[in-house]
Structure 1
Amino acid sequence: MLDERFREGEGAGQEGTRGGTTALGHPRGDLLLLLIGFPVVGLALGLALPRLARWASGSPVLPWRDTVEFVGGLDALWQTGLVMAAGLAAGAVLAFMALAEDLTLELTDTEVRIKRGDEPRTFERTDVSAVFIDGKELVLLDADSGELVRGGHAPRAAALAGAFRAHGYPWRDGDPYASLFHRWIPGTPDLPAEVHALLAARKAALKRDAGQDARDLTGMARGLGYVVRDEGKDQYWRALVTRA
């Protein structure tokens, strides 16, 4: 099959070819920024950290003073090297974590394969009723307006739009059901008690940065007939809309 790649500097504005496979991954510039930039920043922070700690230790009001003074005392060459190595490693870990959270896609005329980390999923084109970008997230809706997929996307928005349109998917400029969402207010009579409980648990999961738990709770709300999304720190909900 033909493999059309939408990458920065490699046809990012072109359209895919009907009948082939379009692979959508991280643009080259983003890969360089993540895989090189993050470790370099970590290395630089590791170099600067003991000096910053020595400067901060002069403050009369300083939390964790013992820890700050300990870091400030790491002035031997081998100690500085260890701190820089730790910063480099931390930057590399953050880079790979960021890569794992973004969606990568493969499109054909009949299906879309989406992968986030080690979580691949495949959907038939006929099951997709709308595709759009909501903020920084790519969203695919099913026939009942429920969300098949929502997540941060690696490719540029223009590359996504061109690829989905080229393969015949219903790309939209925005959420066709945006006007139906309501901000979640605990206890509102518009929602059943079990949905309130799910949204309360989801809010707690988001507060502790438990992304997978939040996604699982979103799926449970979908099973009860509701779509959930976030705007800032607020949760918004709407009922499913079944097409006639």
Structure 2
Amino acid sequence: MTSEESLGSPVPLSKGRTTVLGYPRGDLLTILIGMPVLGLLLGIALPPLARWLTGLPVLPWRDGITFVGSLDKPWQTAIVSGVGLVAGLLIAVTEHVETLKLRLTDQELVAEQHDRTRTMERARVCAVFLDGKELVVLDETSREFVRGVHKTPAPALARAFRSHGYPWQDADPHAALFHRWIPGAPGLPAEAHAVLAARKAALKNKVAEDARDLAETMQGLGYVVRDEGKGQYWRPLAGDAGGHQ
């Protein structure tokens, strides 16, 4: 009978050949409790802080700050505090949803992120590695099956994947194939340049969902995209590397 470890467990351990990697319990409690409390405290502190700031000789957004400082009645303070509490809760829930969660067995990998669950057979995984703070899993074509921030420490991640026979790598085995995207530069078809231009706009406007969708579109065209600083980098799928150089 297969058993599983809790998603919130701080250290991943195999039980019955199943390992569940999720948000460490201590960090999860800090986020889900700490952020709403912080939002509540900020909501309480904002009106007095705004009243103090209005005494400064030079003050940007003076009208808005003056308005916040005028909220001194108990019911107004309660509303501001409630808004802070809700904002903190939303931030906490978003952080939890955005964080990558994984379930490993000797046969398959199940990934949950952005309210989406995907499954891939272990035999199809060609590499697993960390790219900065993001965990990346590549399939047999070098396509990114999953990419996302994971809170488990790197040594524990490596130990968990290796215990199930997954090919953990210390670095991206295809790193040498990446090129910085330059609009209109040779090496990419016009369609790919258009997608990367749209993705650049999505990143600039902080529309993360659109940026993810456009990265998926690029993979459909035969290219993997990664971000480094403010630049976009691309590479062909490993099987197509020779045809795109």
State the TM-score, normalized to the length of structure 1. Answer: 0.91
The aligned residue for residue 83 of structure 1 is: 80
The percentage of aligned residue pairs carrying the same residue is: 59
Classify the secondary structure of the residue corresponding to 2:239: coil
Classify the secondary structure of the residue corresponding to 1:216: helix
Equivalents in 1 of 2:97, 2:18: separation in Å? 22
Equivalents in 2 of 1:115, 1:90: separation in Å? 24
Equivalents in 2 of 1:201, 1:2: separation in Å? 44
Checking the alignment, whether the CA contact within 8 Å between 1:113 and 1:123 is kept in structure 2 is: yes
Checking the alignment, whether the CA contact within 8 Å between 1:47 and 1:83 is kept in structure 2 is: yes
Answer yes or no: is 1:203 the counterpart of 2:204: no
The aligned residue for residue 174 of structure 2 is: 177
Give 1:194's match in structure 2, choosing from 191, 194, 199. Answer: 191
Deviation at 1:66, TM superposition (A): 2.3
Paired residues in the alignment total 239
Range that drifts further, 146-155 or 133-142: 146-155
Query: Counterparts in 2 of 1:47-126, with a 5 A limit?
Result: 47-126=44-123
Checking the alignment, whether the CA contact within 8 Å between 1:15 and 1:166 is kept in structure 2 is: no
Checking the alignment, whether the CA contact within 8 Å between 1:226 and 1:240 is kept in structure 2 is: yes
Q: What amino acid does structure 2 have at the position aligned with 1:3?
A: E
Classify the secondary structure of the residue corresponding to 1:176: coil
Unaligned runs of 5+ in 1: none
Q: What amino acid does structure 2 have at the position aligned with 1:114?
A: A
The aligned residue for residue 225 of structure 2 is: 228
Classify the secondary structure of the residue corresponding to 2:194: helix
The aligned residue for residue 35 of structure 1 is: 32
Give 2:216's match in structure 1, choosing from 216, 219, 226. Answer: 219
Classify the secondary structure of the residue corresponding to 1:129: strand
The aligned residue for residue 14 of structure 2 is: 16
Deviation at 1:35, TM superposition (A): 0.8
Deviation at 1:101, TM superposition (A): 0.4
Structure with larger RCO (C-alpha < 8 A, sep 6+):
1
Q: What amino acid does structure 2 have at the position aligned with 1:138?
A: L
Deviation at 1:52, TM superposition (A): 1.8
